[in-house]
Structure 1
Amino acid sequence: MDQLSDLKAILHSKRANIYYLEKCRVMQKDGRVLYLTEAKEENYYWNIPIANTTVILLGTGTSITQAAMRMLASAGVLVGFCGGGGSPLFSGSEIEWLTPQSEYRSTEYMQAWLGFWFDEAKRLTVAKTFQQARVGYLQRTWEKDRDLKAENFLATDLEISSALSGYASQIQNAAKVGDLLQREALLTKQLYRYAAKAAQLGDFVREREASDLANGFLNHGNYLAYGLAATTLWVLGIPHGFAVMHGKTRRGALVFDVADLIKDAIVLPWAFISAKEKATEQEFRQQILQKFTEHKALDFMFEQVKQAALENPPHPSEEGK
């Protein structure tokens, strides 16, 4: 196996690392990708294991060399520019993500996705499937995560179980995507209220521009989830614009659809727990990345997107024939 093949030996869904870097210079040196930090008396080089990395987020005070980008592209690493702490992804520039180019990636999933996407009823069916998967993933994650149980996040709690079961039953009755979005917004409010109570944070209001820790950690964690979603779609070759739920409101909205599969299960509770503990951004980020790995979030995203693409759901009128 040659060196370039070695860099892609680990499947993206199995890679362990997501990096957020700030105040450093990313470069290529002696056949490796390093980041350089400057101290008063000397500089320090740190190695990035690119073959086992999915995403690199470049924050405040960073730069990257052309040679480093060439190696990252060879390893299939997605690179994004962002604000301090990992959020937001810059929207003032057309370049938010630098995606490794490959003319020889399989077109299987992209063609299968487009095979149903132009049918509105089939898009709705996939959106419903994603929302059911989202509920199931939250229930399974909360049921087996001892750390969450210790923080009073219980999937068996009457308040949360009734909210999830109520939403799951409403999903099937949604006649259009707008109905799903309205019911999703209601569920999210219920989850915020439950999380704020479990973390003893009083009356919480979700505001993306707010300066409190819980809102800040939610923003930060969501952008990490967007990185996983963007990586999933890039590897499978599915363009970000072909969304099934958020397409009318957000550019590149399929990233948001896929990230929603895991955000409530992992990002939401740990944002509130970390806010209660007055954690630093670095501590929160390490906790989230650990939980992404522990609960195989990237594997789950790949599984759901591949299944949605290849099953090519039938039109509702064709079901049961």
Structure 2
Amino acid sequence: MFYLEYCRVMQKDGRVLYLSDADKENLYYNIPIANTTVILLGNGTSITQAAMRMLSQAGVLVGFCGGGGTPLYMANDVEHAIEWFSPQSEYRPTEYLHGWMQFWFDDDKRLAAGKRFQKARIEYLTSVWSKDKNLKGEGFIVEDKAIQTALTRFNARTEAAKKPSDLLLTEAQLTKTLYKFAANNTGTDDFKRQHQGSTKQVDDKANDFLNHGNYLAYGLAACTLWVLGIPHGFAVMHGKTRRGALVFDVADLIKDAVVLPWAFVCAKENATEQEFRQQILQAFTDHKSLDFMFEHVKKIALEGRSL
């Protein structure tokens, strides 16, 4: 995954490069498109048609976004959210879409898929927090009594859910508990979640980092679904009327485990946006977040009939 800002992306000598100005000197940097899944183009970027053609041929997902990889809120309250451009291909797989359609139109089976998503996110959180020494050092210990109580309650309520809204309510309750746990661990006083980011009068890096990290997770989720050929509108929890709702479902698999704790830790350390982004991307790599997304979505798609 690449996030670029204040540069020009172009094709040169059969490669995709970005041109950055530094000290009146033009500096070219190569983008290894064969090993790239997502490119986010932030403030001050442009891209040539030739570069887009090569990125399309390599199957790279390209998105335009606000500064730092997150939406940019301006004085006129206009939101510049990410706009995704998917490469055109007639050869993407269809088996996963066919499997998804086997259950999606059945309310009970779609609910069952939503429950599996919720259980998978807890399995991933438990796995990451159990083996990440750095998070353990910051007090993010999955064996903590408060965490175990919250997870037990979450599992029971998830199993008893009768409709997707029940799953979303249970999810919100767990996330609220995790926010409180993270805030206490890092000494973040009076934390209150603000999805639109902090105001300029208040230094609220935890919220800014949460928004930033979440949008990076959305990039991985969108890439997973594009590669597997499953349209973003076929959500199992976030609502059938939201065009990109399945992206949110898939991103939720990793957000609590990786983005949430590091947002608070980096805020405590007064990290810059770039330092936080590097930390999150490294954590995604270390804990194979993209692999986990692929494995889980593929499994549900191929087992759609038996849900």
User: TM-score, normalising length from structure 2?
Assistant: 0.94
- Kindly report which structure 2 residues correspond to 1:178-189, keeping only aligned pairs within 5 A, or say none: 178-189=165-176
Paired AA for residue 73 in structure 1: S
Say which is worse superposed, 86-95 or 99-108, in terms of deviation. 86-95
One-letter amino acid matched to 1:59: G
- CA shift, 1:55, in A, is 0.4
After superposition, the C-alpha distances for 1:250-301 in whole angstroms (9 at most, x for unaligned) are 3310000000000000000000000000000000000000000100000000
C-alpha distance in structure 2 between counterparts of 1:314 and 1:69, whole Å:
40
The superposition leaves residues 216-260 of structure 1 with CA deviations (integer Å, 9 ceiling, x where unpaired) of 000000000000000000000000000000024633100000000
Q: Which residue is 1:97 aligned to?
A: 84
Contact residue 4 and residue 40 of structure 2 kept, 8 A: yes
**Structure 2 residue 245 is matched with structure 1 residue 262:** no
Match of 1:218 among 210, 215, 221: 210
* 1:272 corresponds to 2:258: no
User: Are 2:250 and 2:293, in contact at CA under 8 Å, matched by a contact in 1?
Assistant: yes
Using a 3 Å threshold, how does the CA distance of structure 1 residues 229 and 204 change in structure 2: closer, same or farther? Answer: same
Which residue, 44, 55, 58 being the options, matches 2:27? 44
**More off after superposition, 95-104 vs 122-131:** 95-104
How far apart are 1:42 and its partner, in Å? 1.3
Q: CA separation in 2, counterparts of 1:94 and 1:251?
A: 14
- The TM-score, its normalising length taken from structure 1, stands at 0.90
User: Could you tell me how far 1:40 is from its partner in structure 2?
Assistant: 3.5
Gaps of 5+ in 2: 199-203
Percent of residue pairs identical: 68
Q: How far did residue 304 of structure 1 move? A: 0.6
Aligned-residue CA RMSD (Å): 1.6
**Does structure 1 retain, via aligned residues, the 8 Å contact 2:4–2:39?**
yes
Residue of structure 1 equivalent to 2:222? 230
1:115 matched residue in structure 2? 102
Helix, strand or coil at the partner of 1:142: helix
Q: Per-residue displacement from partner, 1:125-169 (whole Å, max 9, x unpaired)?
A: 000000000011001100000000010100011011111121012
Matched letter for residue 11 of structure 2 = Q
Return the letter of the residue paired with 1:152: G
Aligned residues: 298
- Partner SS, residue 60 of structure 1: coil
Q: Counterpart in 2 of 1:161?
A: 148
Matched, 1:71 2:54: yes
Is 1:127 the equivalent of 2:110? no
CA distance in 1 between partners of 2:88 and 2:303 (Å): 27
Partner of 1:11: none
Q: What CA distance in whole angstroms lies between the structure 2 residues aligned with 1:167 and 1:94?
A: 31
> Structure 1 regions of 5+ residues with no counterpart?
1-17, 316-321
2:302 to 292, 310, 313: 310
